[in-house]
Amino acid sequence: MNDPLLGADESQEQERSPEIRRRFELAETGFNEIPRKYRKFYRKWQGEGDTLAPNEVLCPVCMIVVRSSRELRVGDRVYCMPCMSRLMVAEEQGMLVAKVVY
Ligand SMILES: [Zn+2]
């Protein structure tokens, strides 16, 4: 499957940190702007009151939530398919945020 989390292969990850990332079961979210097999990796941001899970970041370009089957960490690169942006996960005020990588 085409997880938006780019290039984090398991062996590399164990070298970087002893903690294994939590895995998440992704379910269909009703997001229908991209081909069906990728839909579970994205969902609409519900605005104020919505919260992001540890495997989710908000794309600052199109305001779609990008979801990975694994927990996201600062420094991860993710791909937002709906707007084709490459993003880097960063931390701001204790929250994970995505920044566009040019
Ligand atoms: Zn986007």
DSSP string, the chain: ---SEES--HHHHHHH-SSPPPB---------SS-GGGGGGEEE---TT----TTEEE-TTT-EEEE-SB---TT-EEEETTTTEEEEEEEETTEEEEEE--
Average pLDDT on 13-37 reads: 83
Distance between CA 59 and CA 69 in Å, rounded? Answer: 17
What token pair was written down for 87?
A: 């993003």
> The pTM is what?
0.84
Number of residues assigned to the chain: 102
Compute, in angstroms, the gap from residue 68 CA to the centroid of ligand 1: 14
Compute, in angstroms, the gap from residue 9 CA to the centroid of ligand 1: 23
Mean pLDDT for the chain overall = 89
Compute, in angstroms, the gap from residue 38 CA to the centroid of ligand 1: 14
Rg (CA), the chain: 13
Compute, in angstroms, the gap from residue 18 CA to the centroid of ligand 1: 31
What token pair was written down for 99?
A: 């920044």
Distance between CA 79 and CA 67 in Å, rounded? Answer: 10
Residue 19's pLDDT is 73
Residue 93's pLDDT is 85
Compute, in angstroms, the gap from residue 7 CA to the centroid of ligand 1: 19
Compute, in angstroms, the gap from residue 81 CA to the centroid of ligand 1: 7
**Bridge partners of 97?**
90
Compute, in angstroms, the gap from residue 60 CA to the centroid of ligand 1: 7
Q: Which residue has the higher pLDDT, 96 or 24?
A: 24
Compute, in angstroms, the gap from residue 21 CA to the centroid of ligand 1: 24
Q: What percent of the chain has pLDDT over 90?
A: 74
pLDDT (tens digit, 9 = 90+) per residue, 41-83?
999 999 999 999 999 999 999 999 999 999 999 999 999 999 9
| pLDDT(14) > 70 | no
Residue 15's pLDDT is 57
